């Protein structure tokens, strides 16, 4: 769980904890990190796609049903 410490440095993004949920006793990450910028750069959820405000990368959600 190394990224917990990494998140600790991102105090201003503390509100992002709301995007975590507990599932079967474990914290599940619901946010998506930018594949270009790497972990720590969280992509904004725009309904049908994710958008990175850092490099403007857009990733469309793919339905998996
Ligand atoms: Zn990015």
| 43 CA to centre of ligand 1 in angstroms | 7
**pLDDT by position in tens, the chain (length 65):** 566 566 555 555 545 555 666 777 876 666 788 999 998 898 998 888 999 999 999 999 886 66
- pTM across the whole model: 0.52
Taking ligand 1, which is a single-atom ion, which protein residues have CB atoms under 5 Å away? 34, 36-37, 41, 52, 54-55, 57
- Tell me the C-alpha distance between 55 and 8, whole Å: 23
Query: What is the DSSP secondary-structure string of the chain?
Result: -HHHHHHHH-GGGGGGGGGEEEETTEEEE--EEETTTEEEEEEEE-SSEEE-TTT--EEE-----
Q: What is the distance in A from the centroid of ligand 1 to the CA of 20?
A: 20
- Residue 34's pLDDT is what? 92
The two three-digit tokens of residue 58, written as one number: 């857009």
């Amino acid at each position: 769980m190394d990224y917990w410490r990494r998140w600790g440095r991102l105090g201003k993004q503390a509100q992002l904890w709301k995007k975590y949920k507990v599932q079967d006793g474990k914290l599940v990450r619901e946010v998506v990190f930018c594949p270009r910028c790497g972990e720590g750069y969280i992509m904004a959820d725009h309904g049908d796609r994710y958008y990175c405000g850092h490099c403007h990368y857009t990733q469309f959600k793919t339905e998996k049903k």
